[in-house]
Amino acid sequence: MLIDTYGRVATDLRVSLTDRCNLRCTYCMPEEGLQWLAKPDLLTDDEIVRLIDIAVTSLGIEEVRFTGGEPLLRPGLAGIVERVAALEPRPQMSLTTNGIGLRRTAAALKEAGLDRVNVSLDTLRPDVFKTLTRRDRHKDVLDGLYAAREAGLTPVKVNSVLMPGLNDDEAPDLLAWAVEHDYELRFIEQMPLDAQHGWKRDGMITAGDILTSLRTRFELTPEGEEARGSAPAERWLVDGGPHRVGVIASVTRPFCAACDRTRLTADGQVRTCLFATEETDLRAALRSDAGDEEIARLWKRAMWGKKAGAGLDDPTFVQPDRPMSAIGG
Ligand code: SAM
Ligand code: SF4
């Protein structure tokens, strides 16, 4: 098991497949100038599958989520999914994506064994999308979402980040749209993980702001702690249900005490938290012919050092050097 000194057990593995992306969301990446990881430093498909195999068969991982950067840019994605689906025990598999390219790939990914997708979409307005992501691809995301639902990658979840002065008036519209199309909407508080280090606690839209805005149009009933489990999102039934809305309040209502995650970057570093300042180099172990037991031991030792919390609301908080796109969101 991947257990830490606070008794938390990691069963959920986030795997970043690339740090590259075809969008430039303002809260994630600068317009230009971000240094990409060098190709030889990236784990190969075989190395990724081997690490996931160790995690699933020796370390108790039950769920694998592929992310990035933009994971659909990884040429070998469907092959990786297929090989992970063949592992015993077979983990649940999901993908966090900006949705561009899903129209072409959703059916093949489902066929390969992918269970679900989370698609990021912050706005229903194409012009605001272009400002937020610096690319004119709004329709591609909507098409991708539709294709995911048609392919049965359900429940399709939509992640939205609200930015002051850009889309912070859109929470009720996004929820009405998500209910209409049967997508499960989750708002994510903006976190200090942008490559430009431009995050400001004072300016961010909080979970409280989001709920106040949603309640102008919807009746929200809390689902309660039991239904939440170790999920980062607090959820509410919308107008009595069955649709739900979630809020991931990493800054104002952190859920670190129930965290069940471990993370693997595209260059083979284990991180115990998005906000960790330390990493454990599994790529070096892989490439020096370490056996599965030795790799499992390194992973367990990393987990044992997991901190109690990220401390985002603490004035002494220091943003990690790696941006979200290079950690895997
Ligand atoms: N490119 C894919 C996507 O956008 O879904 C996967 C990677 S992205 C880093 C994963 C999630 O992190 C997205 O939902 C994105 O909106 C969110 N994200 C990125 N930067 C963030 C930030 N600074 N604060 C909060 N969420 C952020
Ligand atoms: Fe790309 Fe996702 Fe970051 Fe947007 S949030 S720039 S889509 S990695």
Q: Note down pLDDT in tens along the chain; length 329 residues.
A: 999 999 999 999 999 999 999 999 999 999 988 899 999 999 999 999 999 999 999 999 999 999 999 999 999 999 999 999 999 999 999 999 999 999 999 999 999 999 999 999 999 999 999 999 999 999 999 999 999 999 999 999 999 999 999 999 999 999 999 999 999 999 999 998 888 888 888 889 999 999 999 999 999 999 977 666 767 889 999 999 999 999 999 899 888 999 999 999 999 999 999 888 889 999 999 999 999 999 999 999 999 999 988 777 777 788 888 788 888 87
Exposure pattern of 27-66 as b/e (b: 16+ CB <10 Å)?
bbbeeeebeebeeeebbebeebbbbbbbbbebbebebbbb
Q: Residue 238: name the closest of 261, 214, 257, 269 by CA.
A: 214
Contacts of 56 (CB under 8 A, 6+ apart): 62, 64, 84, 87, 89, 91
C-alpha of residue 20 to centroid of ligand 2, in Å: 9
CB of 133 sitting under 6 A from ligand 1: no
Among 300, 281, 254, 275, CA closest to 4: 300
User: Do 179 and 214 form a contact (C-beta atoms < 8 A)?
Assistant: no
**N residues, the chain:** 329
The pair of structure tokens assigned to 205 is 């839209």
Whose CA is closest to atom 5 on ligand 1?
Answer: 97
The residue nearest atom 8 of ligand 2, judged by CA position, is 69
- Ordered by start, the domain boundaries in the chain are 2-327
CB-defined site of ligand 2, < 6 Å: 21, 23-25, 28-29, 68-70, 98, 120, 325
The pLDDT of residue 306 is 92
- Give the separation between CA 182 and CA 146, rounded to whole angstroms: 10
- The alpha carbon of residue 177 and the mean position of all alpha carbons in its chain are separated, in whole angstroms, by 22
CATH topology of domain 2-327: TIM Barrel (3.20.20)
